[in-house]
Structure 1
Amino acid sequence: MNTQTLEQMKQLRLHGMIRAFSSSLSPQSVDYTNDELIAYLIQSEWDDRQNRKVERLTKTARFRYSAVMENIDYTHDRNIDRNQIQRFATCDFITQKDNILITGSTGAGKSYMASAIGHQACSLGFKTLYFNTSKLFTMLKTSKADGSYLKQVNKIEKQDLLILDDFGLKGLDNINRHSLMEIIEDRHGKKSTIIASQLPVEAWHEIIGEQTIADAILDRLVHTAHRIDIKGESMRKKLKNK
């Protein structure tokens, strides 16, 4: 009877339930009542599906760093508000369609922080994509050549959270400028975006170029944005010294 039940669970792809039921058959297992056993099996299947969903979302996001919120450095000279970051951990900013702009010098920990927030978003079930901005624009240019541009832009638009890292390392040409405008316009008021940059937000206008488009992009980004300006010496230098 138990063998048949396990086989049926396998065919139904109830992987969490299989492990829980097999465990319940062990002589060392808890002596469950009927209702307790049903609750145990269902909870195990629920947990298994949630864990696989988080793994799938995290893999799809393609993060640069395996980062967690708990490891963010709140040293007093870094100008990071612990309460603000902990509020981001709830991901309410995503449900409210807000943006986050993270600025700071090279090695300050911008990418790590952005990735940590992204990992947290995945753990709460939000679809997330991480991009190095330069590589994103290269990919979009290539997609225009092979005809997959609209598919790529639509995929980006559907993400609950988009992370653009290393923004502003070089000025945007006309093609990249219009691609960025399209992405930001599609997401404005609908989805959340995190941008990490070495340059202060005040310098982004020059990086984007073409005043009219720059004004339109920044108006959509900054208006609903939480700002983080990380100070202090390079975290890479700190780690090396340690």
Structure 2
Amino acid sequence: MNADIEPSIETTTVAPQVLLINHFKALKLPTFAREYEKVGADCAREGVDYPRYLLRLCELERIDRERRTMERRIRLARFPVTKSLETFDFMAMPTLNKSLVLELARCEWIDKRENVIALGPSGVGKTHTALALGLAACQKGHSVGFTTAAALVHELMEARDEKRLRALQKQLTNVKLLIVDELGYVPFTAVGAELLFEVFSRRYEHGATLVTSNLPFDEWTSVLGSERLTGALLDRLTHHVHILEMNGESYRLATSKKRQQRNAKPNIAAEKGGTNP
């Protein structure tokens, strides 16, 4: 070794903690940077050796990285709100097959590129179920996209006019799970229906699709405008499908009635208390 070579100024004057932080940032190890001193102190107190000290840091880094990745998937899914099955009231929807929903939450149907269709009137929890299954998919490591049928058709037509339709179609095809909510609330033009059909057709046996609708299958023609197109669409969607039938009273209507009943009781009690015998 050449004796004339002097140690770098950086290694002699800069605190090792500062250098460590810089290296952690360069290596994209934020959890190492945040936890290395605390974990080091814990390991020193417990008499833990260096390999186990590094193991603890690596485990923390991996857990934190997986959490950040999952949070990113949830953001990219564009859920209007985040909902889980833990907050779903299965008792209020006896027609819904709970065991099937819980099985779907395991996300094996997504790996198999199958479909789910939730059918039922407004307010029975179709969107809640779709959001919960979408969240479960994100937690299992799948990419998810959420949209309403009307918003999707609008986006497709806008992309067509701006000559970026192919890029949008590719994006919609490649997502592992595409959730299309509220099919049936708004009828589409012939062009809009064809663009929507193209999305479902491209995803056939290529990716999993979840659709919610307030209409039974035999009324989908009223939205798509063509029996031929409706038949072709249902042929693809129902080939590998799990159907969730959700028939019952609207959650929102039931909640509103309960609220009115609760508000009415104090008024009745006040009237009775103020009435002279």
Q: TM-score, normalised by structure 2?
A: 0.82
Instruction: Tell me how far apart the structure 1 counterparts of residues 22 and 48 of structure 2 sit (CA, whole Å).
Output: 22
Match 2:121 to one of 77, 81, 105: 105
Q: Which one-letter code corresponds to 1:159 in the other structure? A: V
TM-score normalised by length of structure 1 = 0.93
| Helix, strand or coil at the partner of 1:131 | strand
Q: What is the distance in 2 between the residues matched to 1:30 and 1:209?
A: 71
* Alpha-carbon offset, residue 70 of structure 1: 1.4
CA offset digits 1:96-124 (Å, max 9, x no partner): 11100001111111111101100111111
Give the equivalent residue in structure 2 for 1:119: 135
Deviations 1:164-210 (A, max 9, x none): 01101132221112111211111000100000111122322442232
- Given the alignment, which residue of 241, 246, 267 partners 1:225? 241
CA contact (8 A) 2:105 2:136 kept: yes
Deviations 1:187-237 (A, max 9, x none): 000100000111122322442232222211110001111000112211123
Distance in 1 (alpha carbons) for counterparts of 2:92 and 2:184: 27
- Which 10-residue stretch deviates more, 181-190 or 32-41? 32-41
- Please provide the CA RMSD for this pair: 1.8
- Does 2:89 align with 1:73? yes
Query: Is 1:18 matched with 2:33?
Result: yes
Identity %: 24
Residue 142 of structure 1 is matched in structure 2 by: 158
- Max radius of gyration: which structure? 2
Q: Structure 1: give runs of 5+ residues left out of the alignment.
A: none
Is it true that 1:5 corresponds to 2:20 in the alignment? yes
Structure 2 Cα separation of the partners of residues 224 and 61 of structure 1: 23
On the 8 A contact 1:205/1:218 being kept in 2, the answer is no
In structure 2, how many angstroms separate the alpha carbons of the residues matched to 1:106 and 1:30? 58
Task: Give CA-to-partner distance per residue, 1:28-49, whole Å, 9 cap, x none.
Answer: 9654322221221111111111
CA distance in 1, matches of 2:130, 2:110: 13
Q: Which residue in the other structure is 1:46 paired with?
A: 62
For residue 160 of structure 1, report the CA deviation from its aligned partner. 0.3
- Structure 1 counterpart of 2:220, which letter? W
Query: 1:109 and 1:76 mapped to 2: Cα distance?
Result: 10
Partner residue, 1:90: 106
